[in-house]
Chains A and B, each alone.
Chain A
């Protein structure tokens, strides 16, 4: 199986690699880049734990091949906090509202929320529910997650 050279930006750093065509973007990020914050909960595109931003859009990195990201811009959960490790407003809202427990689904929710709130700065509660309905959480019953998104949205608004 021939390997393919790719070059992409991962969290703003130019990254070059030679990868087998079947390597998923999720595995590329986790194994080649050491960015293990992107989690694999189902590997068939339903749970959303592996969500990353591809050119700014939230995508499931288990359903994208690394070669498809060639020439593109990828942002993972590790790229969202400040350079000093400070939490982004969305991350802080999750912390303030008990929006995570085991933390396995959390990176996917946070990345999804970042993209959603960027595009919908003034969402209704129903829109918030809809926006994260493609991400599964098994610990929180979604209560803290929904509260966190509401708070993050309200903070942006003011």
Chain B
């Protein structure tokens, strides 16, 4: 018999909270993962899209004669073939009653951006499909395009005829008179307009889908964050029952919002599959991804903030306008309200207001991207630094005077956001202490004397994670302790690099008191996993913890009852750990989980009264809070070469409060990944168009992602304020991408402060920086 160990004192916390190795790693490191393009089906065909080369054009005849004559070509579908197959096309997260924006599978009547899918070629292999795309002759009649959304309301061109002024929708109100009066009478009335460029999620794996229609069942392999939403959406699209659709995803190569919802190409492939005799695969190439998989972040805000004589905020207003491209996914108007509602941020702001307007353009459609509302932080934090310099107060000191303190919480911000369980003042002070802010200011002053330009910038934000509303409000888990005592835990899936397999295995092992090696997880197959909304909105950690706890609790009780019966002890004296049950304080009286399972499945007569056979359970967590708040402070230092405009990041510190951590390595990995995406957005990435609407950045030679030579070493500080949900866990997936852009911009602006430069436009390319300095000289 194995001797009892000191660790056998209940299940809590053996793995949760520790840096356990990821369970995903062995297959991924050995090249044995299964990404959608790795899946091969018998007789599988390959799809490739014919895409509009014009930003706006009337569509005439499509002549596919030559393409169809090419050996290996099976079909060329046009809008007339596919679009009538649409039954319903709405997203569960939005519901069917929102005033949704248009979303035809193939372009109908008019092409509305360069890359708009016009026809779908299906062939025996991808090479032949691409050849055939070149042979499809589309009659385009180019029309004047609206490329820059700033021109939208005045433009003659309408992206969609029924949207006057190209406005997709607006929420909020113009600055009310009484708020304007607050600004007018403030000691400092700071107005500024801040512009953010278009950039994009850019997962390393592009989009992709395989659809196989058997006549009764539709099986779909997809690169997705939300396999169950793919199932529901496609079932509605095709008019088949939800249970006739099976969606499978194993490994997805990053997503960051881009794969949270099926898009027009996915609709096309699903519709085409029903017209084809064989399964069909579509794998997007990088050019298509940068041209047509969506755009994010393109927006500006007319901001106004008032301060009293001591630098305390007396009021704040944002008039926000965002580019939604031609075909946004999903309806963009409602989600934009978060920009306005979060604009006051973690500060004591007595009065505030906002308006947000979504404007169409003849460019790639807006999609979700890691912290879709992050402009609230860009706008507020950049404005705070500008205001601080105008007031002659150090930017850190302005924040210190305005940050919400713990004794002021919970509280509701003036735009209606109910903050609780946050620690903005603590993360701020921790991050500044890690830097030694005062020492940096001395170092900066010294460097300036030698003609070197160092700068420091910060960003402090609060972030709603884990929304508990509607589609997102519940999450299920099924746990099967198999007859040998090994454990499988089934959850909806959607892990796209965020280590959900590891997290679920850790949580389950602890909840059942079993060894980590005895637990495996099955995710991403709608045929066997309970419904869940997938990865998005920084929800998975909390929701999966709730689902596992709910389900494991039932099994734990059953295991304890069986063990007590077998050991002739009271259930109150049974403790679980290391895959066995023992009587507390009596190591010799123990029974392995394998034995308990054996009895549960094969000797039900030996079970105590009232305990059912088997060790399987399903449970569903129901979020009790509308959201769980997280917060962080980013601090960045940099040196700017004022001759070349090059920015070198020196130190990068993130102090984050995501509550207790399930796995600190995973948390820090999420922070680092998001932060570097944000650095990319501040300095490099720009999904640019020329004035005719031609995309200029459709390769990685043109669309510049940060590489290993540009990123600083990221230092982490953790503050742990438990949230109100399961385990106190909060979401952490998005924050890095929210906090980084303003911290970097502020650091550069601080470095350039001696020149009197104010930065109000992104990205900060070397050319932009040189121009700013020369403009100020």
Contact = CB atoms under 8 A, between A and B. Distances in A.
Interface of A: 20, 22-23, 30, 35-44, 46-47, 49, 76-78, 80-81, 85, 87, 91, 94-96, 98, 100-107, 110, 128-130, 132-146
Interface in B728-752: 736
Contact of A102 (B26, B37, B202, B252): B252
Interface in B23-67: 24-35, 37-38
Shortest beta-carbon contacts, A-B, top 9: A37-B31, A104-B253, A102-B497, A103-B28, A141-B676, A77-B31, A141-B672, A101-B497, A46-B700
Contact of A98 (B35, B668, B675, B736): B668
B30 A91 contact: yes
A39 to B, nearest CB: 7
Interface stretch (B460-468, B482-490, B708-716): B708-716
A146 B669 CA distance: 13
A44 B205 contact: no
B498 interface: yes
In this complex, the member of B32, B37, B256 whose beta carbon has the largest number of chain A beta carbons within 10 angstroms is B32
Contacts of B19: 98
A144 to B, nearest CB: 6
Contacts of B669: 98, 101, 139-141, 143-144
B665 interface: yes
B660 interface: no
Chain A contact residues: over half helix, strand or loop, or mixed?
Answer: loop
Contact of B29 (A87, A104, A141): A87
A106 B251 CA distance: 13
A35 B31 contact: yes
Given A22-B127, A98-B666, A46 B699 contact: yes
B25 A94 contact: yes
B606 interface: no
A147 to B, nearest CB: 9
Contacts, number: 176
B38 A141 contact: no
Contact of B253 (A37, A39, A42, A141): A39
B286 interface: yes
Given A85-B30, A143-B672, A143-B713, A103 B24 contact: yes
Contacts of B22: 95, 98, 100
A124 B496 CA distance: 32
20 contacts: A37-B31, A78-B30, A78-B31, A87-B29, A94-B25, A94-B29, A95-B25, A98-B666, A101-B673, A102-B497, A103-B28, A103-B29, A104-B35, A104-B254, A107-B31, A138-B256, A142-B672, A142-B711, A143-B669, A143-B713
B20 to A, nearest CB: 11
Interface string B489-523: 00000001111000000000000000000000000
Contact of A104 (B205, B256, B713): B205
A42 B31 contact: no
Given A101-B254, A104-B254, A144-B669, 13 more contacts: A30-B38, A39-B253, A87-B29, A95-B25, A98-B22, A101-B499, A102-B252, A105-B253, A107-B31, A136-B707, A138-B705, A141-B672, A141-B673
Given A47-B204, A47-B700, A138-B673, A130 B29 contact: no
A36 B205 contact: no
In this complex, the member of A20, A23, A42 whose beta carbon has the largest number of chain B beta carbons within 10 angstroms is A42
Contact of B251 (A81, A103, A105, A129): A103
A102 B666 contact: no
A87 B32 CA distance: 12
Chain B contact residues: over half helix, strand or loop, or mixed?
Answer: loop
Contacts of B701: 44, 46
A38 B31 contact: yes
Contacts of B256: 138
Given A95-B22, A138-B204, A110 B29 contact: yes
* Interface size, B (range): 35 or more
A84 to B, nearest CB: 11
Contacts of B24: 103
A87 to B, nearest CB: 6
A35 to B, nearest CB: 7
A12 to B, nearest CB: 15
A42 B708 contact: no
B139 interface: no
B203 A138 contact: yes
Contact of B254 (A20, A35, A94, A138): A138
Nearest to B664: A98
A117 to B, nearest CB: 15
Given A138-B203, A139-B254, A101 B498 contact: yes
Contacts of A77: 30-31
B204 A95 contact: no
A128 to B, nearest CB: 8
A44 B35 contact: no
Contacts of B761: none
Interface string B664-701: 01101100111111000000000000000000000111
B708 A129 contact: yes
Contacts of A141: 669, 672-677, 706, 711, 714, 736
B441 interface: no
A60 to B, nearest CB: 12
Contacts of A130: 708-709
A43 B676 contact: no
B436 interface: no
Contacts of B38: 30, 36
Nearest to B39: A36
A41 B27 CA distance: 19
A137 B677 CA distance: 10
A17 to B, nearest CB: 15
A145 B253 contact: no
A36 B519 CA distance: 27
Nearest to A46: B700
A101 to B, nearest CB: 4
B709 A129 contact: yes
A76 B31 contact: yes
Given A87-B29, A103-B33, A105-B204, A133 B673 contact: no
B29 A36 contact: no
A142 B708 contact: yes
A43 B287 CA distance: 9
A131 B53 CA distance: 38
A142 B437 CA distance: 26
Contacts of B204: 39, 41, 47, 49, 102, 104-105, 136-139
Nearest to A97: B665
Contacts of B28: 100, 103, 106
B448 interface: no
Contacts of B151: none
B285 interface: yes
B243 interface: no
Nearest to B205: A104
Contacts of B33: 37, 103
Contacts of B666: 98
A95 B205 contact: no
Given A46-B699, A104-B253, A142 B676 contact: yes
Contact of A37 (B21, B32, B706, B711): B32
B251 A102 contact: yes
Contacts of B252: 102
Contacts of B711: 141-143
A46 to B, nearest CB: 4
A141 B254 CA distance: 13
Nearest to A110: B29
Contacts of A142: 672, 676, 706-708, 711
B205 A98 contact: no
A101 B501 CA distance: 11
Contact of B25 (A36, A100, A139): A100
A133 B708 contact: yes
A107 B31 CA distance: 6
Interface string B93-131: 000000000000000000000000000000000010000
Contact of A41 (B251, B286, B497): B286
